[in-house]
Structure 1
Amino acid sequence: MIPRIASSAAPKLDGKGVKVDDLGRLTGEWAEAVQNDNSGAPLLIDNLIIDVDAEAADGSPFRRWAAMHDGSYLYVLVIVDDNGDRHRDSGTSLAQDDSLELFLDGDNSKSTRYDDNDFHRLIPLQLAGKDRQAANSGDIAGPNSSRSPLGLKFTTGIGSGPKGLRRKNWEQDVYELRIDLESAGIDTNAPIGFELQVNDDDGGKNRESKWAWKHPSRADRDVDGTVSNPALMGTVVLE
């Protein structure tokens, strides 16, 4: 269940000020966001679905998300514990660079083909041609996404998040998103399709790995099904 907050408590999308306490719980403007699933497990983006040369094993806790809404907008936070090697050199092929992929199914129809309220957006971590320059533009629609207008705003923070899990002196990257509920066809108190996936590019050119929240992990081959099959999204409910 994604909790509802007052509009006055909405987070500022600036890629800064994302803090956690000694237990790893979000504090400050993201403190009210859901951070665990119904079983109490943290909301990790830890299913390794593409492994070219992944820098961590399947199930590694280096990517997580949280969310809340105010009745008009859905606010999503993604935190990535990067190893410090980030790239934005693949033009419009954002999936080959460090980036976030957002999937939404406004009515949770779980159709195997994208319809008018099934959205797929790719969000860059940094601006093209700019080293460590945070992004607030440059997102693109996925190849099968609805072409209906989606009210999406975002800002990234490169190395401006909480202290790193692996190296304490290397702060984590953050993505802060705001999604207009009406434009996405989302009603409160009703299930929606939802998925987050993270691309990791460590050497430039093509990505080394891709990680998912709900898409099942790869077994003996790479998998990337949500791009073409929205039924693979997870399900969440807005309070």
Structure 2
Amino acid sequence: MNYEEVLDKLETGELRSANKTENGWEANIEVKQAILESFKNGTNTSFEGIYEGFVDKHNLPPRFFEPEDGVRLVPGGSSVRRGAYVASGVIIMPPAYVNVGAYVDEGSMVDSHALVGSCAQIGKNVHLSAGVQIGGVLEPVGMNPVIIEDDCFIGAGAVIVEGILVKSQAVIAPGVVLSKSIPVYDAVNEEVRERGAEIPEGAVVIPGTRPMNSEWAKNEGLSMACPIIVKYRDDNSNASLELEEALR
């Protein structure tokens, strides 16, 4: 397939930038290569109509939706780029951006000032709160993008980058930063999860700190930011998220 066919199939959901297999999530290298090919073959052009004054690659224009698509793209500066899949029942509040190769599944919300980066995979019934940054991973092509599985709640201002996997039903509190350079501290199981490890199913993660070890840092009372798993979801924590459904 040429890159145009790949972009078409990404928009219908027939192809994805990453797929869940028996061995876990795996990047779709051919798809990511095709997206990179579209960049190489694109030339800058100006757009007309509501996008007048903007310039981008001619072959990666913003997507348009019709009521029958079932997507609620609220006016006010949001954009979904060519080659991104947005399922029926998704709500996108302004301003928000969904980049090429991304996948946003049924019933999810992309709130104001949220970014879904290139090739990021967002599952069903996920809430990306205001200001959430989901990083994109196009290169290296074999690296998994950020993946947020079904029924996750990502709090305002959270940043998730570098191919981190957040497993189903996890709750990421506002302000948490997840990247492969930051270890995750599991206060429930009393262990330090290796750098870049996935966030387990149902984990509730809050922003925390840990002391720095050098003598100078100790004398200065310095600490480093780190994510901490403080609990795993139960009936009480699920009840606290019912407001999400009420707001729909």
More helix by share: 2
TM-score of the aligned structures, taking structure 1 as reference length: 0.25
Structure with larger Rg: 2
Q: Quick one: higher RCO (CA 8 Å, sep 6+), 1 or 2?
A: 1
